[in-house]
Amino acid sequence: MKLKQLSVFLENRPGHLSHVCNVLAEAGLDIVTMTLADTSEFGILRLIIRDWKRAKDVLQSAGFAVNMTDVMAIEVADEPGGLEKILKKAEAGGLSVEYMYAFACKPKKNALIVIRFDDLTRASKVMTHAGIGVLSAAEFYAE
């Protein structure tokens, strides 16, 4: 149910993002998906990487401040109203979305979104109960 996401602290300055990518590339680690949240001064790079433990190690040894967070991956029908349907369920279950990011899977009909809910345990129940396709880590990386 839970997916491990790495967050990396970055100063909002040229070259800092590519440095992270370079460290991961050198270690042969593939980024499945990512998003960047930023303010004028700093940013948080959020990464989904299959071998997140090793990614965390290499990033930390490269000197980055890295944090691990549990997020949820949900399959959404890639059609109008697909996401709305899920958010309605979350709302009804009293959940609030801290942030989310989406990525389309190549030839498939469905899109995948990564969501951080305020209460992950409850979110799992609500989503499962509503019959929404929450992916396990194994399923997620098998996509």
Partner 1 sequence: MEPDIHPESIPDYLESGELRRLQLARLQDTVQRCYNNVDIFRQRMDERVLKPSDIRTLNDVAKLPFTQKTDLRDTYPYGLFAVPMKEVVRLHASSGTTGKPIVVGYTKDDLDVWSSVMLRSFAAAGMQSGDVLQNAYGYGLFTGGLGAHYGAERLGATVIPISGGNTERQILVMKDFGVTAICCTPSYFIHLIEKVNAGGVQFEELGVKIGIFGAEPWTEAMREYIQRESGIKAFDIYGLSEIIGPGVGIECVEQNGLHIFEDHFLMEIVNPETGEILADGTEGELVITTLTKQAFPMIRYRTHDITSIIAGRCACGRTVRRIKRIRSRSDDMMIIRGVNVFPSQIEAALLSIEEAVPHYQILLTRKGGLDQIEVQVEMTGEMFGDRIRELESVQKRLAQAIEHTVGLRVPVHLVEPHTILRSEGKAKRVIDQRSKRKDVR
**Which part of the chain contacts partner 1 (CB under 8 A), choosing from 10-18, 88-96, 106-114, 129-137?**
10-18
Binding residue (CB under 8 A) for partner 1 from 42, 105, 139, 143: 42
Give the count of residues interacting with partner 1 (CB under 8 A).
22
Contact flag: residue 41 with partner 1 (CB under 8 A): yes
Contact flag: residue 64 with partner 1 (CB under 8 A): yes
Residues in the chain: 143
Binding residue (CB under 8 A) for partner 1 from 22, 67, 96, 136: 67
Contact flag: residue 96 with partner 1 (CB under 8 A): no
Buried/exposed code over 73-107 (b: 16+ C-beta within 10 A; e: otherwise): bbbbeeeeeebeebeebbeebebeeeebbeeeeee
103 close to 73: Cβ distance less than 8 angstroms? no
Q: Which amino acid is at 83?
A: L
Contact flag: residue 9 with partner 1 (CB under 8 A): yes
